[in-house]
A and B are shown apart, each in its own frame.
Chain A
Amino acid sequence: MLTVVVRRLVRLLVVLAGVSLVTFAILHVSGDPVSLMMSEAPEADRAVLRQAMGFNDPLPLQFARFLRNTARGDFGQSFFYREPALPLVLARMPTTLLLTVLAMLLALGVALPVGIYGAVRRNSLLDHGATLVVFLGQSMPVFWTGIMLMLLFAVQWRLLPVSGWDSWASLVLPAFTLGTFSAPLLMRIVRSSMLEVINLDYVRTARAKGVTEWFVICRHALVNAALPLVTVAGLQFGLLLGGAVITETVFAVPGVGRLIVGAIRQLDFPIVQAGVFLLALIVVVVNFTVDMLYIYLNPQIRVR
């Protein structure tokens, strides 16, 4: 058990280092931030700044310096804001996390009941309807879903605010938009794994004992069917964080995603690095938790 945990933790660190390396590499081949910062300055002034910021050092040295500073939690000063990058990212993190968690809850809130129903009443009208919705949901890009929901609920029916982040009402559309992205896949997973277990012997035994159908499904079938769901939901969380980038832009939500998009445009290396690193950290931590949850839920692994 302990070795499993340690092995997973090591893997977590390797992933983080890998993400840092990739971000660092992509940023450093993408252009010269000094030219963008001082577009009107004479070349001599730019050379001074480039030297001062260490851009003239060999890349491996720059990366080593970056890793060392990262380990200390120091991502440097944002070029654009002229403030330390990490607090700028951290200040926007609760917004992004709230949006992502709400979207996840919404997705699960839809996927679980509909998926279960689809498995229990296979080939019923609702099951087919749900399958149709799955295809629709999966084929719509997030930004399009967002704008359609906005046009319907905010412009046409005036039920919700168009954009912003100043009331609970303004959370609804972004969370739904993002949730729509995940719900279909989760629903399929619930349905198929429920189908797998629902005809197994122990379920039939439970029914034969005279246990209510409701209890059979929730206590016996669902717990076993939940394993793949937990894994996929963990992975989906990472995708949702990615989707939050677009959703935040469409709905003018002041989150990390929007900050990173702006920073990429301005070649603001410290913000991009801090932002990507933190998002990666969240994703690996969630997946680590999922792994642990999996072990807890599945005694077979624990024993092994």
Chain B
Amino acid sequence: MTRWFLVPLVLALVAVGPLPADAQPKDTLTVALVSHAPTLDPHMHFERVGILVNINMFDSLLHKNARLEYEPSLATSWKALSDTQWEFKLRKGVKFHNGETMTPDDVKYSFERVLDQKKKSPQYGNVRAIKEIRIVDPETIHIITDKPFPLLLERLVFFPIVPRKHVEAVGDQAFGTTSPVGTGPWKFVEWKRDQLIRLEAFDQHWRGKPPFKHLIIRAIPEIATQVAEMKTGGVDLIRNVSADLIPELRNHPQTYISSAPILRVHYVELDMRYPPFDKKPVRQAANYAVDKQTIIQKLMGGLGQIVATTVQPKAFGFDPDVKPYPYDPKKAKELLAQAGYPNGVDITLHSAFVEFRPVFEAITQMLTEVGIRTNAKVWDPGPAWNKVLQGEGKATNGYYGSWGNYSVFDADAVLHPLYHTEPGSWIGKWYTRVEGLDGLIDEARSTVDQARRKRTYSRIQNLIREEAPAIFLWTQYDTLAISRKVEYAARGDEWLWLFDAKPKR
């Protein structure tokens, strides 16, 4: 009777065919992401996982190299003609994957597609300021904005150009699922939803052929599974490796680690409308209370860079002369007493930043030690958390979170959402009340004169350093685990620009 017991086992072993592990051909690069975007149409989603795939299939007018400097892509040169008008020279003879040559009409169409409100593109808000695309001659277009739009070049780094004739022929639906066509290094082969996207090198790509002939993007939701795939050679590259996994993957015979500081800043936003954080000394005390260096060393694998405010070193407008709050618990206690809390005060802080839960707990413990006795509440990201975040502010004194600037390397991309109080801001409208700050943010927005903007951002950083609408912490690192067969390095913009990936040896 016990023989029955063996049947499934034997079957299982017999069924084992050739395994993907170690058997991968050298011209294939396999990347794991946690999921796929809802569509491959680069204009009809705004998902990080989708952008990472799209950039390898589509080109934009501009590109950024690994040092994050602007580089020509489909535009070979560009200049501002006035505060509201830009000129772009287009690259000649660029081929789409279907063999057609790119024309200015395709560029114009690509913008109009996103600006057409009927198409409901989630990227509409990014380029809303663009009023008109004017074709000047077969190699020149003008982009006209309705007001000065200093972020234009940043937005154009991910603004893929699509072939008008093809899109109109196959329709939006098919373009996003079965027949996406771009000018990028890899062209589309197949998409098995929630499984893999298969791409193949495009022979006529204007940069030349990418080093890997095949590019496969698998969807693997569980990080433990991704790590297991890395160790067995099932995938060559995974993202968002957390601090606890780094030692294991760094020393593994199959994998190495590549890490880069990214445009994501951590902070504890303080609710300035209610006690105790309506008082400046208390907010400053909170900043003196947190030992940032120790947290980075002990809890984040050393991967973090302390910042003075939420404006990051890589963003335009960063002022290195503004210095971070030092760790000074004695000073924190003094300030607290000065604000009328000699015996300390009780507060509640919230967070839905699950991967950094130990960090959150360390911060609240350090606050408690100087007398800001903190009750830490951790939430699941999702609807309930959104309610807390946007709540009337009575239940919360602040929250620990992070901001990724939507990958825009400009001080505005963090200052406006976090501290401006107009209804269109993200969180500042609920938490921040700093006199004069709104006006300064608006002022820096209203010109494309970069020298003037830089001066304004310096003033803003000095102001918020002093007023402390948040506990300023550090910038996060993006950490990749990469197969030892592949040469690649993490980028500061979290892009996976796989044209730069090469087989080793």
A162 to B125 CA separation, bound complex (whole angstroms) = 41
Segment from B141-149, B224-232, B454-462, B463-471 that makes contact with A: B224-232
B19 close to A169 (CB less than 8 A):
yes
Q: Kindly specify which of B4-12, B160-168, B306-314, B315-323 makes contact with the partner chain.
A: B4-12
Are A258 and B194 in contact, with the CB atoms below 8 A? yes
Contact B16 A160 (CB under 8 A): yes
Shortest Cβ gap from A181 to chain B (Å): 15
B25 interface hit (Cβ, 8 Å): no
Contact A151 B228 (CB under 8 A): yes
Q: Given that A147-B224, A158-B19, A250-B225 are contacting pairs, would A40 and B125 also be in contact in the complex, using a CB cutoff of 8 Å?
A: yes
Give 1 or 0 for each of B402-425: 1 = CB within 8 Å of chain A CB: 000000000000000000000110
Q: Which residues of the other chain, B, contact A169 by a CB distance below 8 angstroms?
A: 15-17, 19
Q: Is B386 an interface residue (CB 8 A)?
A: yes
- Contact at A31–B382, with CB atoms within 8 Å? yes
Of the candidate stretches B63-71, B213-221, B271-279, the one touching chain A is: B213-221
Complex CA gap A113/B6 in Å reads 10
**Complex Cα–Cα for A68 and B445 (A):** 50
Q: How far is the CA of A43 from the CA of B390 in the complex (A)?
A: 13
- Cβ-defined contact, B38 with A258, below 8 A: no
Chain B neighbourhood of A172, CB < 8 A: 12, 15-16
Kindly supply a per-residue 1/0 record for chain B positions 203-224, scoring 1 wherever the CB is within 8 Å of any chain A CB and 0 otherwise: 0000000000000001111101
Q: Across the two chains, which residue of chain B brings its CB closest to A163?
A: B225
Contacts of B232 in A (CB 8 A): 154-155, 158, 162
Q: Once the chains bind, are A150 and B228 in contact (CB under 8 Å)?
A: yes
Query: Are B5 and A36 in contact, with the CB atoms below 8 A?
Result: no
Q: Are B219 and A113 in contact (CB under 8 A)?
A: no
A197 to B2 alpha-carbon distance, docked (Å): 21
| Closest Cβ–Cβ distance, residue A22 to chain B (whole Å) | 17
Interface size grouping (class) on chain A: 35 or more
Q: How many residues of B contact A (CB 8 A)?
A: 46
Task: List, in ascending order, chain B residues with CB within 8 A of A262's CB.
Answer: 35, 221
CB of A185 to closest CB in B, whole Å: 17
Assess whether A303 is interfacial by the CB under 8 Å rule.
no
Residue among B38, B39, B196 with the most chain A CB within 10 A?
B38
- Inside 8 A of A254's CB, which chain B residues have their CB? 192-195, 219
Question: A249–B222 contact, CB under 8 A?
Answer: yes
- A110 interfacial by beta-carbon distance below 8 Å: yes
Give Cα A249 to B222, complex, Å: 6
Contact B2 A41 (CB under 8 A): no
Complex Cα spacing A41 to B13, Å: 55
* With known contacts A155-B231, A162-B234, A169-B19, A113–B4 Cβ distance under 8 A: yes
- Give, as a whole number of angstroms, the nearest-CB distance from A179 to chain B: 8
User: In chain A, what residue has the closest Cβ to B22?
Assistant: A158
**Residue contact A252 to B221, C-beta cutoff 8 Å:** yes
Asked if A162 and B386 make an inter-chain contact with CB atoms under 8 angstroms apart, the answer reads no
Give min CB distance, B248 to chain A, whole Å. Answer: 12
CB-defined contacts of A36 to chain B, threshold 8 Å: 383, 386
**Is A165 located at the chain interface by the 8 A CB criterion?**
yes
Interface status of B505 (Cβ within 8 A of chain A): no
Q: Does B118 contact A (CB under 8 A)?
A: no
Partner of A267, one of B12, B39, B192, B383: B383
Asked if B38 contacts A81 (CB within 8 A), the reply is: yes
Instruction: Find chain B residues with CB under 8 A from A81 CB.
Output: 38-39
Within 8 A of B (CB), among A77-102: 78, 80-83, 91-92
Interface residues of A in 100-152 (CB under 8 A from B): 106, 109-110, 112-114, 116-117, 126, 147, 150-151
Measured CB to CB, the closest approach of chain B to A165, in angstroms, equals 6
Closest residue to B195 on the A side, CB-wise? Answer: A254
Contact at A159–B228, with CB atoms within 8 Å?
Answer: no
B384 at the interface (CB under 8 A from A): yes
Complex alpha-carbon distance, A147 and B221, angstroms: 13
Nearest chain A residue, comparing its CB with the CB of B221 = A249
Question: Given the known A-B contacts A42-B423, A92-B194, A254-B193, are A168 and B17 also in contact in the complex, defined by CB atoms under 8 Å?
Answer: yes
Interface flag for A205 (CB, 8 Å): no
- Tell me if B195 and A110 are in contact (CB < 8 A): no
Set of chain B residues within 8 Å of A106, measured between Cβ atoms: 8
CA distance A222 to B32 in the complex (A): 49
Give which listed residue, A35, A83, A92, A164, contacts B386 with CB less than 8 A: A35
For A254, the closest partner residue in chain B by CB is B194
Cβ of B4: which chain A residues have Cβ within 8 Å of it?
109, 112-113
In contact, A259 and B1 (Cβ under 8 angstroms): no
Q: Which residue of A lies closest to B46 (CB)?
A: A40
Q: CB distance B387 to A161 under 8 Å?
A: no
- Interface positions of B from 384 to 404, Cβ below 8 Å from A: 384, 386-387
Closest 6 CB pairs of A and B: A31-B383, A254-B194, A113-B4, A252-B220, A81-B38, A162-B228
Given contacts A43-B423, A78-B38, 14 further A-B contacts (CB under 8 A): A31-B384, A40-B125, A42-B424, A106-B8, A109-B4, A159-B16, A160-B16, A162-B21, A164-B20, A167-B17, A169-B15, A252-B221, A261-B221, A265-B382
18 examples of A-B residue contacts, CB within 8 angstroms: A31-B386, A36-B383, A43-B423, A78-B38, A91-B193, A109-B8, A147-B224, A155-B228, A161-B21, A162-B229, A168-B15, A169-B15, A249-B221, A252-B194, A252-B218, A252-B219, A258-B194, A262-B35
